[in-house]
């Protein structure tokens, strides 16, 4: 691993040297022009990574923002005669405002609907550019866009323009680095991999997607403005879908989340057709073949390919985080609290239907502070629907859920999580390619008040991330998981993953923890270990609600039990009483079999 790290360093330095020396070696006006254009497209691709790479949304409007910005620059510079500072700022602001406008209807959509809606934006702008001839010059476009002029000094073609454009590449790279490296970047990663899990960690995926969409648009605005000044004309070709395809190609070929991948992708996509133009008509086929070959050899992009052959050496964060300093908000001492008679969470007349099916029908019960309440019932009885309603994934049709005296029924998942309702999932929702420590630390996102603005202002040390990791390490230590804190979650056995998911929920500092089949897939010793941990949590005052089929596991664990059948609460009480309840027995084994058993 150490050798790999050294090699990465060498390769990285060599790549930087190659990048810096490229325009020195290939320094004809033509080469400088191409390198400048590659810089413009590198900015576009870096911007696209925010929405496409960091949060995984296939937006097809990046080309539209690029072209729109170019038009704003072209109109203001060529027609109104404004200076670069004014046109540049106006182009970025216009893109961000357009993104805000678009995001209102579009960000509600998911997957291919989102892609199609964003594609439509570009088509509308293209039609406007062609038809609004008095403003845009129609299909011919607007020529005469001047070279940028800053503080009275015109940036000349060749080297000055190249350095000017690449200084913005550096700026975009810094913005990307700041976004990615901290707690905010971890949250983005969780949003991309599993938005439901993100919400359960009090992270609002919509807010993050919105921020990334706007940031993408703003950076596309930078690229579009510089493109207009570089080629000195704006035309509908800048809004053509081909620009979007080129941007997508750069991001995919280079790597979706690596800044240098975007730069490499842009250099390749801009230069490759130019290098191959000597083949006349065949160059398009050759260019496409080369790009396809790269994708076959490196489906994760050039950056991912490098990661594969020279893996990133995971720093031993367990030794770097301030593990010795105990986070101030962890419960003090290890004393035992007995369950109180104060309801911390009350469910009243909760009803949820799907079409004509009553998944939950008038369900009411309460969770007492420090108690372990088990929810049992046969398959399809409404247990998971109950948890999903309690955590805001489903909105109940009737009834209310009250947490600590406040109604949370209509709140969003992340708000409910922020108010202290943690959960785990029947099917694990950990981020496989993140370390155990970071999977857990990201739960501190809301507590640390991480935001994009704060991420931008973070200095060399990210104190929020350090605190989050420190907190996470303490939680992991409680579960005996601190030794594997640096391991990737994907490499862990199922039973350990269950514990990590619980630890992640605990890292939220919840007042109520909902566990959906936590013992599923665990062997007996793992179940016993898990039960011990859960009892320990309850003893420290945490309220637990456990959905489980495994009666043996629940027998000694639960202090209270409710049973659901066909969405109705059929029994509630102490476990020993529930096990004897006829209706419960009937629900599990059927009326006839129950009668036979009784006989």
* Residues in contact with other proteins by the rule CB under 8 A: 28-30, 33-34, 37, 130-131, 133, 138-141, 143-144, 157, 230-233, 235, 237-238, 242, 274, 277, 280-281, 283-284
Minimum CB–partner distance for residue 238 and other proteins (Å): 7
Minimum CB–partner distance for residue 294 and other proteins (Å): 21
Which residue number, 146 or 378, has a Cβ lying nearer to other proteins? 146
Minimum CB–partner distance for residue 35 and other proteins (Å): 12
CB 46 within 8 A of CB 169: yes
Look at residues 463, 353, 429 and name the one whose alpha carbon lies nearest to residue 397. Answer: 353
Q: What are the residues whose beta carbons fall under 8 Å from the beta carbon of 325, sequence distance 6 or more?
A: 470
Which residue number, 139 or 336, has a Cβ lying nearer to other proteins? 139
Look at residues 562, 560, 502, 508 and name the one whose alpha carbon lies nearest to residue 531. Answer: 502
Which residue number, 281 or 525, has a Cβ lying nearer to other proteins? 281
Which residue number, 67 or 339, has a Cβ lying nearer to other proteins? 67
Look at residues 458, 440, 438, 468 and name the one whose alpha carbon lies nearest to residue 323. Answer: 468
Which residue number, 126 or 401, has a Cβ lying nearer to other proteins? 126
If DSSP states are collapsed to H, E and C, what string results for 433-445? Answer: CCEHHHHHHHHHC
Which residue number, 269 or 418, has a Cβ lying nearer to other proteins? 269
3-state DSSP assignment of residue 561 = strand
Q: What is the DSSP string of 59-120?
A: ---HHHHHHHHHHHHHIIIIIS---HHHHHHHHHHHHHHHHHHHHHHHTT--HHHHHHHHHH
Cα-based torsion angle of the residue sequence 240, 241, 245, 251 in order, rounded to the nearest 10 degrees = 80
Which residues partner with 435 through β-bridges? 488
Minimum CB–partner distance for residue 278 and other proteins (Å): 9
Minimum CB–partner distance for residue 120 and other proteins (Å): 16
Minimum CB–partner distance for residue 473 and other proteins (Å): 53
Minimum CB–partner distance for residue 242 and other proteins (Å): 7
Minimum CB–partner distance for residue 243 and other proteins (Å): 9
| Consecutive H or E run containing 387 | helix 383-390
Side-chain half-sphere of 583: how many Cα atoms within 13 Å? Answer: 13
Supply the Cα-derived Rg of the chain in whole angstroms.
Answer: 29
Which residue number, 285 or 589, has a Cβ lying nearer to other proteins? 285
Which residue number, 12 or 29, has a Cβ lying nearer to other proteins? 29
Look at residues 145, 346, 312, 147 and name the one whose alpha carbon lies nearest to residue 238. Answer: 145
Which residue number, 36 or 103, has a Cβ lying nearer to other proteins? 36
Minimum CB–partner distance for residue 137 and other proteins (Å): 8
């Amino acid at each position: 691993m150490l050798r790999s790290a050294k090699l990465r360093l060498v390769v990285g330095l060599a790549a930087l040297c190659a990048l810096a020396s490229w325009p020195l070696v290939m320094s004809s006006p033509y080469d400088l022009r191409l390198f400048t254009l590659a810089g413009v497209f590198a900015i576009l691709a870096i911007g696209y990574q925010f929405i496409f790479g960091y949060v995984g949304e296939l937006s097809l409007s990046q080309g539209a923002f690029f072209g729109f910005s170019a038009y704003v620059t072209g109109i203001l510079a060529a027609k109104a005669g404004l200076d670069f500072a004014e046109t540049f700022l106006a182009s970025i602001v216009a893109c961000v405002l357009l993104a805000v406008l678009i995001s209102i209807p579009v960000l509600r959509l998911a997957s291919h609907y989102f892609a199609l809606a964003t594609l439509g934006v570009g088509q509308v702008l293209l039609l406007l550019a062609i038809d609004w001839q008095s403003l845009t010059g129609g299909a011919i476009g607007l020529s005469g866009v001047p070279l940028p002029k800053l503080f009275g000094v015109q940036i000349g073609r060749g080297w000055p323009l190249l350095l000017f454009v690449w200084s913005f590449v550096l700026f975009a790279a810094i913005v990307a680095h700041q976004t990615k490296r901290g707690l905010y970047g971890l949250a983005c990663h969780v949003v991309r991999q599993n938005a439901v899990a993100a919400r359960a960690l009090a992270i609002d995926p919509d807010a993050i997607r919105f921020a990334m969409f706007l940031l993408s648009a703003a950076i596309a605005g930078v690229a579009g403005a510089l493109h207009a000044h570089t080629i000195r004309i704006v035309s509908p070709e800048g809004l053509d879908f081909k620009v979007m395809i080129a941007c997508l190609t750069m991001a995919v070929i280079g790597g979706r989340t690596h800044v240098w991948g975007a730069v490499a992708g842009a250099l390749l996509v801009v230069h490759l057709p130019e290098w191959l133009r000597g083949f006349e008509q065949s160059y398009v086929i050759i260019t496409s073949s080369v790009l396809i070959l790269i994708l076959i050899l490196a489906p994760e992009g050039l950056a991912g390919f490098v990661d594969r052959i020279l893996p990133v050496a995971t720093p031993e964060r367990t030794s770097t985080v301030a593990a010795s300093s105990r986070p101030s908000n962890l419960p003090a001492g290890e004393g035992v609290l007995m369950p109180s008679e104060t309801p911390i969470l009350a469910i009243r007349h909760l009803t949820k239907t799907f079409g004509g099916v009553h998944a939950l029908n008038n369900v009411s019960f309460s969770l007492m502070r420090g108690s372990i309440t088990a929810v049992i019932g046969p398959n399809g009885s409404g247990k998971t629907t109950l948890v999903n309603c309690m955590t805001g994934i489903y909105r109940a049709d009737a009834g209310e859920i009250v947490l600590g005296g406040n109604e949370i029924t209509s709140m969003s998942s992340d708000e409910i999580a922020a108010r202290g309702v943690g959960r785990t999932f029947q099917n694990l929702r950990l981020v496989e390619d993140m370390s155990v420590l970071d999977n857990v630390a990201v739960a501190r996102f809301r507590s640390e008040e991480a935001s994009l603005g704060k991420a931008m202002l973070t200095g060399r040390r990210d104190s929020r991330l350090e605190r989050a990791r420190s907190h996470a390490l303490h939680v992991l230590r409680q579960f005996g998981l601190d030794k594997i804190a640096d391991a990737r979650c994907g490499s862990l056995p199922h039973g350990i993953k269950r514990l990590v998911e619980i630890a992640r929920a605990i890292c939220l500092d919840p007042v109520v923890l909902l566990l959906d089949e936590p013992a599923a897939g665990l062997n007996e010793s793992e179940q016993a270990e898990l039960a011990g941990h859960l009892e320990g949590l309850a003893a420290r005052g945490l309220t637990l609600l456990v959905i489980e089929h495994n009666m043996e596991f629940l027998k000694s664990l639960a202090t209270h039990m409710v049973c659901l059948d066909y969405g109705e609460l059929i029994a509630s009480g102490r476990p020993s009483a529930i096990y004897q309840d006829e209706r419960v027995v009937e629900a599990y084994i059927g009326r006839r079999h129950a009668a036979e058993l009784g006989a």
